[in-house]
Chains A and B, each alone.
Chain A
């Protein structure tokens, strides 16, 4: 146990990076998701096709491969990204594809009558989307998106392969130093669990606050 206590600050720093990567990728992934969902629903043929291809490719390939392509693959073309930057980019692109599908489904679940009421009152398609459809779609999308975010928190461990010292790699570095596995792996498993549970808790609170109108 002592080895954990002594190295706790180092592990906490790893946990901090795990959280940071999760939150930043969530943020940019959400922006990508909105753009792609709207592109798939409202874009012209070419834009819709592009958006579909993006979603299909990302969902049909392992996240690990995507991360490696962004970090090592792009380096072949002289694009040498910092490991952390590569992690943000790869994970944002990845989560954006999954979230865009969630959001698209949520937008499509809003009844036609909502558009008609808004149009009949003189609102433009943009105003209708922004004021009437989106706020309702977000509420529909939040529970499944929450699950995606928690999945994301766990997937960040993949970026250890491109030498980002997040939680998993912190443990691996300590293991290389002390030659014991179990205490470190158990410690980080516990830390992942605490973070996931914390995330779930926050998401539940948000869901509750958004459901006041039901």
Chain B
């Protein structure tokens, strides 16, 4: 599903990702852990082209983005990749001038050119799935953070992506709102959705992950099944990280 080879990423002189190799298989849930500044967000953002690669290749749903290709060529590929990936942000990033339902169906109308009627039916189905159908005509500012994030998940699902990327989906939430969002993500996992999740919620990580990827200073230091990672971390850096949690 995702195949990352020798990916490096620098911001001017700062090398943030160093020779990353990572596969995510269809139906797999990969949780990315690591200390602040280790490059987790940057890795996710490289996958859907919000950051440009400095070198290496990323393959998503058989579409290859190669850092060596021309700018134009890469942009063409990134545009395709984005049709196969959905992203959920820490700050939700809902469109404040659109209602909940409009947020969910916007890309269906504009990018996929669905009819309004079809899009609304699909949007309503998704809002039911995240438990927010009664809020469909409300503007995001009227929702709690947890509700906003569930709308953002519905919005990402609307495009029927092959894989969902989550960048700390609960970090901006009040503690009492975290569970409702995690519950939705767990349900998606049960339904077999392929996901790459960056999170600081360790219990959740342990429950939902098929595989843990641990990053530090721009490299993947360790990866493996959650049972192993949490009970017997192999590297000092992982041990130190887990102790702090």
Contact = CB atoms under 8 A, between A and B. Distances in A.
A-B complex is real: yes
Interface of A: 111, 113-114, 116-124, 127, 131-132, 135-136, 139, 212-214
Given A113-B93, A114-B95, A131 B141 contact: no
Contacts of B79: 122, 124
A209 to B, nearest CB: 12
A120 B48 contact: yes
Contact of B107 (A123, A135, A212, A214): A123
B212 interface: no
Given A127-B111, A131-B110, A213-B139, A121 B93 contact: no
Interface in B144-182: 152, 155-156, 159
Contacts, number: 70
Given A113-B93, A120-B87, A121-B82, 12 more contacts: A113-B89, A116-B89, A117-B95, A120-B82, A122-B107, A122-B111, A127-B110, A131-B106, A213-B139, A213-B141, A214-B96, A214-B141
Contacts of B95: 114, 117-118, 132, 136
Interface of B: 48-50, 79, 82-83, 85-87, 89, 91, 93-98, 106-107, 110-112, 139-141, 152, 155-156, 159
A111 B48 CA distance: 19
Nearest to A116: B50
A33 to B, nearest CB: 20
A124 B94 CA distance: 17
A121 B83 CA distance: 7
Closest A-B pairs by Cβ, 4 of them: A121-B107, A117-B93, A113-B93, A213-B139
Contacts of B141: 213-214
B82 A122 contact: yes
A138 B143 CA distance: 23
A121 B89 contact: no
A197 to B, nearest CB: 29
B89 A122 contact: no
Contact of A120 (B86, B96, B98): B86
Contacts of A213: 96-98, 139-141
6 contacts: A113-B91, A118-B95, A120-B85, A122-B79, A139-B97, A213-B96
Contacts of B140: 213
Contacts of B87: 116-117, 120
Contacts of B139: 212-214
A124 B79 CA distance: 8
A135 B97 contact: yes
Contacts of A121: 82, 86, 106-107, 111, 155-156, 159
Contacts of B91: 111, 113
Nearest to A134: B97
A131 B103 CA distance: 11
A114 B107 contact: no
Contacts of A116: 50, 87, 89, 93
Contact of A114 (B93, B111, B155): B93
Contacts of B159: 121-122
A18 to B, nearest CB: 34
Interface centre among A114, A118, A122 (most CB of B within 10 A): A122
Contacts of B110: 123, 127, 131
Interface centre among A111, A119, A127, A212 (most CB of B within 10 A): A119
